[in-house]
Each structure stands twice: as C-alpha cells, then as structure tokens.
C-alpha cells in the first residue's frame, strides 16, 4: 500500500498529521502502508512555481491511493490561472482519470443540532452521492458565446456516452453493495435525451446487480426529497451537473461540512481522498482545526482503494465514540461538550480505535 500524501495548504498539514497518526495506529491490524509526501497547491507554487510539480505527478502515478489535506488561500488568489492552487487538484483528477466522485452526507446524532433541519428528519442521516466528475455539460463540446442575428448567444453541450454512464453506474452499484443495497439514479429523462440514455443504461446495468434495488428519480423531485425526507436514500448516482447541485445540497443538510469526507476514483479503484471542507487559512497553524473529515477520508481510502472494510469501520466507529464522549473541535462545539484542539482530537480517536 503506497500512499501519496498531499498535506497542501492552510490547515492541511496539521489535519494530515493527525490522520497519519491514526493510520499508523492501525499498522498492527493489516494497514501496512508506505507514505510518500508530495507538494500540491499553493505550497507547491511557492516551492516550485507550479501547483502540480512533475515530482508530484510521478508520485501520484506510482501510488496506490492519494490522501489530500486541502489547498488554496488568499495568498494565491490573484496568481495567474495556471498557478492557482485548485489547478493542482484538477490536474491530478485529469492525470489519473478520477471520474467517480463519492460524497457521503452523514449526520452523527450528537451533531444533529448543527443542522437547519429538525433532528428527527436528519439525525443519523447516512447517504452517499456518487457524482460523475469528468463528463457532462461541464466538459461538453461545442460550447461558447457566438454572435447570431445581431445578438450574443451562449451555448453548452450536455453529453454522455453509454460507456461513460456504465463506468460510473458500476461504481455506484458496487458502493451500494457495500452499504444498504439501495441505489437511486437521478435524471431528467422526461425532458433530456441525455438522461433518457442515462436511465436506460442504469436499467441495463442493474441486471448484473440483482442484489441491489435500483430506483429512479427526477432531479427536481430529488432536490425536494432531500429536504423532505433525506433518510429515504442510501446511495444516489447522477451526472456531473446534477451531482454538483445535489451533493452540495445533501452536505448542507448535515450542517457540519467540517465532518464530511470525499473520494474521487478511477476505473482501477485508485483514488484521491480528501475532506469536503477547505483549507481555512484563518485558523491554520493554531491547532484548532477539525481533523475528523480527513480521518474519515482515510477510512474511505481503506474501504474503496484497499478493500479493508474492517479497518475503515474501525476509524468510523472511533470517530463516533469520541463524538459520543463529548470531544469537539471549535467548529462543532456546543455548550456542555468538551472543546479540544487538533492534536487532542487525534489522541482521542487513537485511544478510541
């Protein structure tokens, strides 16, 4: 297990430190990894002039999985477009063909107060949104703004091929198999031919997964149902654009984005794992950042890239335990709980493993 570790910018390095300690603590339990550190984002720009140096590309290619902290910060906001920290991530996604974005929306009962929804609607929420990440209208050609009859006209192309739909569908069916075996595919088949094909391919694919219950929902209804009764869902799969909207909506249901991990996978199961939150430069280096989303990202890595389900679950259970025991970093603190720093939170999770 060769892991390319990308601490990145802002709070990235300190949340990564604690996450590596957790992985280290699992060595006795078959997590025999080798960590190689590489530069990405603003830190890479500062050191080499590029947000994705050649050495990082090489290590990313050789590694079995990538674990990322976070990138970006005001320091690099006005740099030229090809030196923006985010370009480093886009470059890795492209290089490794990471087409499957897995975005869990999980709300631990202890944190239910943080949600804008009523506790009984969201407490215990555990859904996984699988978003296609490299196709759809965000990348479709032709696109642009042209002159027509003396006025400007903007246009973009939504497009998906059968094989693109099939490969993301497989990831979603496999993920559903590892969970509650319920997959909801989201489309707009009553209006868009692209998503009619999407639905057709999902139905064809379902023949290979008789143990997974496939359902379909129109995107506008899905946006409603996530608000009305989000716990009805297990795994949802959808295209890049609908997935962009719905995964963000779903994550906000939890009210605590600082807790959410994510993964981007390719066809070989190789993936980049990272917290959904940003680099929070304002609190960097103060030992107050929440490292749990990065630890949960590492758990996803064990599950999806290394098939170490038991060890992944050990991390997740340890996180649940420390929350139940009242440990909170500042972002999720409530009166009556125990406020701890980044390193203390690491200690608590390791103790709970």
Catalytic (active-site) positions: 138, 188, 220, 244, 248
282: enclosing H helix or E strand: none
Q: Name beta bridge partners: 65.
A: 3, 271
Q: Which is nearer to its own copies, 32 or 161 (CB)?
A: 161
* Contacts (Cβ under 8 Å, ≥6 apart) of 325: 338, 348, 352
The residues that touch Mg ion, with contacts defined as CB under 5 A, are 220, 244, 248
- For its own copies, the binding residues in 5-44 under the rule CB under 8 A are none
- Dihedral through CA 217, CA 222, CA 226, CA 229, nearest 10? -50
# of chain residues touching its own copies (CB under 8 A):
53
| Cβ atoms within 10 Å of 81's Cβ, excluding its own | 7
34 binds, among its own copies, Mg ion, none (CB under 5 to 8 A by kind): none
Q: What 3 state SS string does 248-277 have?
A: HHHHHHHCCHHHCEEEEECCCCCEEEEECC
* Least gap, CB of 177 to Mg ion (angstroms): 27
41 binds, among Mg ion, its own copies, none (CB under 5 to 8 A by kind): none
Q: Which is nearer to its own copies, 227 or 325 (CB)?
A: 227
Contact region for its own copies (CB under 8 A) — 173-181, 194-202, 281-289, 303-311? 194-202
**Distance, CA of 209 to CA of 229 (rounded, Å):** 26
- For its own copies, the binding residues in 123-152 under the rule CB under 8 A are 137-138, 140, 143-145, 148, 151-152
Contact region for its own copies (CB under 8 A) — 45-53, 191-199, 260-268, 278-286? 191-199
Question: Site for its own copies (CB under 8 A): which residue of 27, 58, 124, 221?
Answer: 221
- Give the residue among 212, 190, 208 at the shortest CA–CA distance from 199: 190
Q: What does the chain come to in residues?
A: 353
Question: Are residues 273 and 263 in contact, defined by beta-carbon separation less than 8 angstroms?
Answer: yes
Q: Is 220 annotated as a binding residue?
A: yes
300 binds, among its own copies, Mg ion, none (CB under 5 to 8 A by kind): none
Q: Is 116 annotated as a binding residue?
A: no
Q: Annotated binding residues for Mg(2+), as ranges?
A: 220, 244, 248
């Amino acid at each position: 297990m060769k892991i390319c570790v990308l601490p990145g910018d802002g709070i990235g390095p300190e949340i990564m430190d604690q996450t590596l300690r957790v992985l280290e603590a699992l060595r006795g339990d078959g997590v025999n990894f080798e960590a190689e550190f590489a530069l990405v984002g603003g830190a890479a720009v500062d050191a080499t002039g590029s947000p994705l140096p050649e050495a990082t590309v090489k290590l990313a290619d050789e590694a079995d999985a990538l674990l990322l902290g976070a990138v970006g910060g005001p320091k690099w906001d006005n740099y030229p477009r090809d030196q923006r920290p985010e370009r480093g991530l886009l470059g890795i996604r492209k290089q490794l063909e990471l087409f499957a974005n897995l975005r869990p929306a999980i709300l631990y009962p202890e944190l239910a107060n943080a949600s804008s929804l009523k506790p009984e609607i969201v407490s215990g929420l555990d859904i996984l949104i699988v978003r296609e990440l490299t196709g759809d209208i965000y990348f479709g050609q032709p696109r642009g703004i042209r002159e027509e009859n003396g006025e400007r006209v903007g246009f973009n192309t939504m497009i998906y091929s059968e094989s693109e739909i099939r490969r993301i569908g497989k990831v979603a069916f496999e993920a559903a198999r590892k969970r509650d075996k319920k997959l909801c595919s989201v489309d707009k088949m009553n209006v868009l031919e692209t998503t009619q094909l999407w639905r057709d391919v999902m139905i064809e694919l379902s023949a290979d997964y008789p143990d997974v219950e496939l359902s379909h929902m129109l995107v506008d209804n899905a946006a409603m149902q996530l608000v009305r009764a989000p716990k009805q869902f297990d795994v949802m799969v959808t295209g890049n654009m609908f997935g962009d909207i719905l995964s963000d909506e779903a994550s906000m249901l939890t009210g605590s984005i600082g807790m959410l991990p994510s993964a981007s996978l390719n066809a070989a199961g190789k993936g980049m794992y990272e917290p959904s939150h940003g680099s929070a430069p304002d609190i960097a280096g103060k030992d107050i950042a929440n490292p749990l989303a990065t630890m949960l990202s590492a758990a996803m890595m064990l599950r999806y890239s290394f098939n170490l389900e038991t060890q992944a679950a050990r991390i997740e259970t340890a996180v649940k335990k420390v929350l139940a025991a009242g440990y909170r970093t500042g972002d999720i603190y409530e009166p009556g709980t125990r406020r701890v720093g980044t390193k203390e939170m690491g200690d608590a999770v390791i103790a709970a493993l």
